[in-house]
């Protein structure tokens, strides 16, 4: 994990801890077990980086759907920090507070209100109209899929590793 401290682009990322944590989350390493790995090998590193690869133009509808679900599962695991299969209000508050921590003009209470409003929106999308005695336990992966429906995660969640000039230079 300490090797990630030398990655310059992660240094100022407000959710740096969650990103590094995701690299060692055994759920993302496609292992059946739960918890965190102490270290990852090159194959594990490539497994994690595969979540950030761009879509391929020759993918059929089924491949695109599987590709999308893999990316969303990775994101879901970043939010579901206690590994219980649900993103609770407190887990979501923690992520929003981390994301907004770099803004000196936004107080913690404002970040909490933003998270609470987003969780209410999630409940209305996933459950619909709730009764006064109903409590929304948290976002399941199926709920997470509903919330991301119509959002182009395939092209937003990718990393371009090389800045290669596509014009060949002849000397």
Which residue, 33, 50, 67, sits at the end of a domain? Answer: 50
One domain, residues 37 and 110: no
Residues 69 and 118 in one domain: yes
Residues 75 and 155 in one domain: yes
pTM: predicted TM-score of the whole model, two decimal places: 0.77
Residues 63 and 108: their CA atoms lie apart, in Å, by: 41
What pLDDT, in 10s, does the model give residues 14-72? Answer: 788 888 888 999 999 877 678 889 999 999 998 888 888 887 888 898 988 888 899 89
- Please indicate, yes or no, whether residues 2 and 40 belong to a single structural domain of this protein: yes
Q: What is the per-residue pLDDT across 136-170, written as a single tens digit (0 to 9) for each?
A: 788 899 988 988 888 877 666 766 555 545 555 55
> Does 118 lie in the same domain as 68?
yes
| SS3 at position 134 | coil
pLDDT, tens digit, for every residue of 72-118? 999 999 889 889 999 988 898 888 888 887 777 888 888 888 888 88
DSSP 8-state assignment for residue 3: G
Burial 38-54 (b: 16+ CB within 10 A, else e): eebeeebeebbeebebe
- Find the domain containing 72 and state its range: 56-170
Specify the DSSP class assigned to residue 2: G
Looking at 35, 50, 65, the residue that finishes a domain is: 50
How many domains, the chain? 2
14 and 28 share one domain: yes
- Is 3 in contact with 9 (CB distance < 8 Å)? no
């Amino acid at each position: 994990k300490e090797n990630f401290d030398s990655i310059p682009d992660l240094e100022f990322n407000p959710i740096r801890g969650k990103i590094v944590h995701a690299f060692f989350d055994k759920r993302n390493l496609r292992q059946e077990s739960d918890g965190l790995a102490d270290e990852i090998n090159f194959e594990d590193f490539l497994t994690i980086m595969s979540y950030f690869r761009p879509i391929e133009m020759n993918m059929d509808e089924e491949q695109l759907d599987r590709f999308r679900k893999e990316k969303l599962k990775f994101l879901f695991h970043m939010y579901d920090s206690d590994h219980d299969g649900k993103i609770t209000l407190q887990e979501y508050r923690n992520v929003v507070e981390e994301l907004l921590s770099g803004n000196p003009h936004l107080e913690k209470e404002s970040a909490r209100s933003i998270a609470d409003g987003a969780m209410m929106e999630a409940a209305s999308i996933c459950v619909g109209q709730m009764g006064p005695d109903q409590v929304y336990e948290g976002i399941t992966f199926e709920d997470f899929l509903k919330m991301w429906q119509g959002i182009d995660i395939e092209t937003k969640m990718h990393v371009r590793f090389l800045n290669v000039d596509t014009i060949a230079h002849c000397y």
